[in-house]
Amino acid sequence: MKTDKDFALQLDQQDDLRAYRNEFYISNETIYLDGNSLGLLSKRAENAVQTIMNSWKNYGIDGWTEGKHPWYYLSEQLGELSAPLIGANPDEVIITGSTTTNLHQLVATFFKPTEKRYKILADELNFPSDIYALKSQLQLKGLDPKEHLIQVKSQNGNTLETKDIVEMMQDDVALIVLPSILYRSGQILDMQTLTKEAHKRNIMIGFDLCHSIGSIPHKLTEWDVDFAFWCTYKHLNGGPGSVGGLYVNNKHFGKEPGLAGWFSSAKDKQFDMEHTLTPAANAGAYQIGTPHVLSTAPLLGSLEIFDAAGIDRIRNKSLQLTHYLMALIESELADYDFTIANPRDDKTRGGHVFLEHPEAARICKALKAENIIPDFRNPNGIRLAPVALYNTFEEVWQTVQVLKTIMTEERYKKYENKRGVIA
């Protein structure tokens, strides 16, 4: 692959998604490569917030049922908009809660330990919040996490092998919870195969989609995945603290939510105020509390963009961007001890490139000083996420040139090699 600037400019000219960059608030002085942690604000998302604010201003409490987007049905509306991104039916998706509260809900609902099946299978590379939640759920059922939570080991510290996961699907496992994409290395797990193997053994399985939704296509219903959950502030650009989402396969509809609340109710029964819950006959049953209307509002605009752009086109450009970035790193930075620790092949590489370097924390600080925004991962990882909707090939080229200058001139040595409060 060519690695010169003219080639980057040529790729940008050929990019059929380039117009979407204009939809986002982007500083001309900054190259933002941290969209896998917090996506940028789009103008559509900003306008959607103003629309919801106007409903509050103009309708007061009647905003629940009046206006362009009645709040009472907002979670379902956003679930319908999200469904194509994960290959689900509209009634299988609801926008509600947060990553961890949704995981608590789903485990409380689907983890029913018996005398023979009483363990949860996870992995050692998952984001800590998921593991905290799983341990809490075991403790609530009087089980010892040290004994009843088993975690698949990584052979290299960055990736997982499908065969290693399948080997741990033993007769005493009741539930499996895994990430769809590993948050550090960006490895995509084989969700279809893992689901098939779990179901062969009568084990329920769910996935954390935080780093995959909005980045890669999914076919959750076709693959027969039992459940999934995610945040919306990364690739979906929903804003800091935006409301999460969950998926429940329709074969489980009618199952009582493990953590019931007012908004678990069927819509037509909710205001009957009965003390016996009539759960919604869809994924809405797994809501708990009142929708966070102002924190869901940006998604109305953001998901419009995904509908227009299409997840397949987004994925295609994402692969091109990361492939080009890796080619540049190998060409320009071969003498500086960087290791590309993410998968190389398209099938298993997510939306970011993961570099390892002994001076990673210092290098990230030096990049920020040059107005390039990376993401540091303890102890020695640098995540670079060129996002298809708003990053360019020229930005990728510029990033590697700046990184080369930082290493050649040893500018990173001005900084301490440890992370800040927020990495």
For 270-316, give the DSSP string: GGG--SS--B-SSGGGG--S---HHHHHHHHHHHHHHHHH-HHHHHH
Q: Residue 138 in contact with residue 108, Cβ under 8 Å?
A: no
Interval 29-75: pLDDT, tens: 999 999 999 999 999 999 999 999 999 999 999 999 999 999 999 99
What is the dihedral sign for C-alpha 80, 82, 86, 92? negative
Contacts of 124 (CB under 8 A, 6+ apart): 151, 152, 153, 154
Interval 157-175: pLDDT, tens: 999 999 999 999 999 999 9
Residue 120 in tokens: 């949860």
Is 127 among the annotated ligand-binding positions?
yes
Find the farthest-apart pair of alpha carbons in the chain and give their distance in angstroms, rounded: 70
The mean pLDDT of 354-362, rounded to a whole number, is 97
Is 128 among the annotated ligand-binding positions?
yes
Interval 368-395: pLDDT, tens: 999 999 999 999 999 999 999 999 999 9
* Structural domains of the chain in order of their starting residue, each with its CATH number: 5-32+310-414 (3.90.1150.10), 47-308 (3.40.640.10)
pLDDT of residue 423 exceeding 70? no
Is 129 among the annotated ligand-binding positions?
yes
Is 290 among the annotated ligand-binding positions?
yes
Is 233 among the annotated ligand-binding positions?
yes
Please report, as a single letter, which amino acid is at residue 106: L
The mean pLDDT of 134-148, rounded to a whole number, is 98
Numbers of helices and strands, H then E, in the chain: 13, 13
What rounded mean pLDDT belongs to the chain?
A: 97
DSSP state of 154: P
